[in-house]
Amino acid sequence: MTTPSEQVARQADEQRDQSLSAVTGERRQLLNLAYRLLGSLADAEDVVQETYARWYVMSPAEQAAIVSPGAWLTKVAGRICLNLLGSARARREAYVGAWIPEPLPAPAGWTAGAGGGAGVDPADRITLDESVTMAFLVVFEAMTPAERVAFVLHDVFRYPFAEVAEIVGRSPAACRQLASSARRRAAAARAGASPDAARRASVVRRFRTAWEAQDIEALVALLDPGATALADGGGRAVAHLLPIEGAERIARLYLTIARFSPPRTISERTVNGQPGLVAESEGRVETVFAFEVADDDRITHIWAVRNPEKLRPWRPA
């Protein structure tokens, strides 16, 4: 027979288990938020760890006093990201070449220890929607830290401006203006982009075919006259340091790469939820390509990530 004291103890244990489950269940939300804000899976994972560390250093009484653990965790993660965004600008000014957000494969392709894969908690995966396409993440980079946080929290995660204000440290009205400014930037950057996934995939496939065939006319035809190509080697891999602009210049660059690169395979893969390409040499991913395709089925942007530190999610388990 269970005594009253044992029943009280059991109920307390059940409440603690429920509280722990509610807290740990926020991990995916926090990771998704931090990746969108920082553009780096490694940094996002660090933010989540730091957020949970701040939760667990509190006493049980302090934790119990928090009405909504999920809201508390989001607030803490948002503030950590805001601080990191401020310091990231200085770090990226010293970065070798262009800084491109860290590309992510489709969830099924994520490897153990890099955000997914067999035996890894699905909570460690990023939800691949429009807000994590390379085009969107690049637009986020042009925003101020406050704009970025306000926009992502409100427009992507649907947090009310009153809660956003607590994280950003400004009034709800000011946060509304920040999000509105960021929204205009995002809309302008996305204007004219192709909404059809099948057509985008077809364009990327034709680009791959023309590149492998070293067909400069076909490459030029697939590129918008004002197209831009960026490469991110981070000083750790060979990459062109400045943007390459114009269809013919980009086509000639990629033909030079094809002629002088070591033997490799190029495969069609999902990159941040969009059709992309991956170049592998001797079983090692050396470059991940993301594309922006306009509504006229021409490529307007190519982002080539070669920095090996940013290709961690693409490594074999």
Domains of the chain, by residue range, sit at 1-94, 129-191, 197-314
Instruction: Report pLDDT digits (tens) over 232-291.
Output: 999 999 999 999 999 999 999 999 999 988 889 999 999 999 999 999 998 899 999 999
CB-based contacts of 100, cutoff 8 Å, min separation 6: 134, 138, 230, 231, 232, 303, 304, 305, 310
Check if the beta carbon of residue 48 is closer than 8 Å to that of residue 27.
yes
Give the CA radius of gyration of the chain: 22
Question: What architecture is domain 1-94?
Answer: Orthogonal Bundle (1.10)
What distance in Å separates the CA atoms of residue 238 and residue 83, rounded to the nearest whole number? Answer: 31
The structure's pTM equals 0.87
Instruction: Report pLDDT digits (tens) over 121-164.
Output: 544 678 878 889 999 999 998 899 999 999 999 999 999 999 99
The residue count for the chain = 317
CATH of region 129-191, choose from 1.25.40, 1.10.1760, 2.160.20, 1.10.10: 1.10.10
157: left (phi over 0), alpha (psi -120 to 50) or beta: alpha
Give the angle subtended at the CA of 158 by the CAs of 152 and 161, to the nearest 5°: 80
The CATH number that domain 197-314 falls under is 3.10.450.50
Task: Beginning with the edge strand found earlier in the chain, give each strand of the sheet holding 284-293 in spatial order.
Answer: 244-245, 223-232, 299-305, 284-293, 274-281, 265-271
SS3 string, 197-217, reads HHHHHHHHHHHHHHHHHCCHH
Show the tokens assigned to 177: 């203006």
Average pLDDT over residues 178-184: 95
